[in-house]
Amino acid sequence: MLQQAQATLAAKRADSETIKHRLEEEFTSATETIGHGEDSRLISPVDGVVQNVGVAVADDVTSGDVVANVTDLSSVWIVASIRPEDAQDLVIGGRFSVRPSGHMKQPPVFAKISTINDVADADTGLLRVIGTFDKPAVNLRPGTMLDATLETAQAAKGIIVPATAIQQFNGHDLVYTPSGSTHFQPHDVHILLSTDDEAVVQSDLPPDSKVVSSGSFALKSAAIFSASSGD
């Protein structure tokens, strides 16, 4: 009886060692180790941003389950929608600048136009333009809303002034130049090309003229008040 009991005990020990070995083989890998409550570490094959996580705490994970989606930001696409009539002035390889939406004072990030769709979207009537750039210097997350400026193939000869210097008054585009130490002179200008930052204008101004930029709105307001008061 003693020998039979010892044999049974040895068999149980062998079964226990077999089960332990199988558990270690099944749950031990390069990215997962048993211990500390079966904590696991996921290693992404690329540097990027986690876009979403598809599992929750205490969920069962099986082979083939998508645990998390990681977006590779080593190369970024910027998508803009434009009117079809504006697309004729764009060229592949043209410059494409973007800023976070509503942050006009933030320096732009520049990309190159890589794709100009031929057919407008049936719902919006707009064409899609794609710009690409490698390894952006700023953090851009998928789905970020941006303000975009697309440079065209048009050329114009004139004077470059800040866009903030141009004011509209009585249907005219004006810029103001200093006239002495306390007076300013308005000048009519004709806008040839413009971006969010600058404009090319035709005017009677000489090329080296200084124009009022950030204070131009205050000068226009003073002119409107003077005109309404009859001074």
pLDDT of 74-121, one tens digit each? 777 888 888 888 888 888 888 888 887 877 777 788 888 889 998 888
Question: What is the CATH class of 77-150?
Answer: mainly beta
Q: Which residue has the higher pLDDT, 74 or 183?
A: 183
Which parts of the chain are beta strand (E)? 48-53, 68-72, 75-82, 95-100, 109-116, 127-134, 146-150, 159-162, 167-169, 172-179, 183-188, 190-194, 198-202
Instruction: Please report, for residues 86, 97, 156, 163, the alpha-carbon distance to residue 152 in angstroms, rounded to integers and kept in the order given.
Output: 9, 12, 11, 17
Residue 182's SS3 state is: coil
Identify any residues that bridge with 111 across adjacent strands, giving them in sequence order: 96
Per-residue pLDDT, 144: 79
- In the chain, where does the domain assigned CATH 2.40.420.20 lie? 159-229
- Classified by CATH at the fold level, domain 159-229 comes out as 2.40.420
Q: What is the mean pLDDT of residues 10-24?
A: 67
Per-residue pLDDT, 10: 65
Residues 132-164 have pLDDT tens digits of 876 665 566 777 788 888 877 777 788 888 888
- In the chain, where does the domain assigned CATH 2.40.30.170 lie? 77-150
**Which residues are CB-neighbours of 43 under 8 A, at least 6 positions away?**
31
Q: What order do you get walking across the sheet with 167-169 strand by strand?
A: 167-169, 172-179, 183-188
